[in-house]
Amino acid sequence: MAVKKSGLGKGLDSLIPKQTAAKHSTGAGAGTSGDVSAKDETKSAVKKEPPLNQEVKLKLTQIEPNRDQPRKSFDEQALAELADSIRQFGVIQPLIVQKKGDFYEIIAGERRWRAARMAGLKEIPVIIREFSDRQAVEISLIENIQRENLNPIEEAVAYKRLLNEFDLTQEEVADRVSKSRAAVTNSMRLLKLDDRVQQMVVEEKLSTGHARALLGIADAELQYQCAQEIFDRKLSVRDVERMVKVLSSKKKEKPKQDESQPQDFIYQDLEERMKALLGTKVSIDHRNQNRGRIVIDYYSNEELERLMYLFQSISDEKN
């Protein structure tokens, strides 16, 4: 029985790996072209993935941020400074990433990745690891909190996510981020602020101390008005604490209280402070366009002389 040459050739090709066939090729005739093509296909098919748990370099275009990353805002000035450092010394600490489809997702180190792009780098050192979705989110939250890269509101949101999504207690959260339970509790209290006030904290128009003082005001609209007053007048935290104390001491039965403006209470507080300083009644009549008058009461010639002496002493100290 005659054997067909084409059939025998096909059988050998199917039994011998293309790598081997290419290796033993003589390079003659039509077989040369086929072997080279097979070799190229093999290279493409056997493309190695970077090893896990080892420092390797990846192109920045292969890496993308984690969408569940708690940090939403980045200080451009701080990024520029980090980019300058990277230009001089490179990225000293590798990013932590994981394979996600056809790209690598950042678990820890987005700030370094952004600065590296700003510095014009094409590649960046990374360590590739495998995490569950839960582990990836938890690690990203904890890494950002521990590095203090979050603004106060982002930090509070991160704590809340650790509590709600991972069923952790406040003690467990505090232990994982190496902070006290009181620090975690006080941070999360900021989320009770009006959303507009929270945004002012994010934009650094209010400090954390100002924000905590404002928690003493339950009414959201009045809280926001007070926050604007703090920013406009550059009030200190102690000023805000006094203002909130005055607001809290107001009698609820007064019908006009709900219509009061936060600056009314500021002037009332100023009146009380001037009264304590001068030892007599003081009234501030505030008018529009930041104008007004101060009325100082006296009840005898001796008291008037005492006030004059007090003002003279203040004047002499300044001179």
Taking only the tens place, the pLDDT of each residue in 145-197 is 776 567 899 889 989 888 888 888 889 888 888 889 999 999 999 999 999 99
Structure tokens at 282: 């003081």
State pLDDT tens for residues 187-240.
999 999 999 999 999 999 999 999 999 999 989 999 999 999 999 888 999 989
Give the model's pLDDT for residue 103: 93
Higher pLDDT, 127 or 28: 127
Alpha-carbon gap, residue 280 to 297, rounded angstroms: 6
Alpha-carbon gap, residue 117 to 122, rounded angstroms: 8
253 falls in which pLDDT band (50, 70, 90)?
A: very low
The residues carrying an active-site annotation are 110
Pairing of the two strands 103-108 and 95-100 = antiparallel
Torsion of CA 256, 259, 264, 265, to 10 degrees: 80
Higher pLDDT, 314 or 46: 314
The CA–CA distances, whole Å, from 143 to 39, 177, 251 equal 45, 8, 47
State pLDDT tens for residues 85-101.
999 999 999 999 999 88
The percent of residues in the chain predicted with pLDDT above 70, rounded, is 76
Alpha-carbon gap, residue 239 to 262, rounded angstroms: 12
Whole-structure pTM over 0.85, yes or no?
A: no
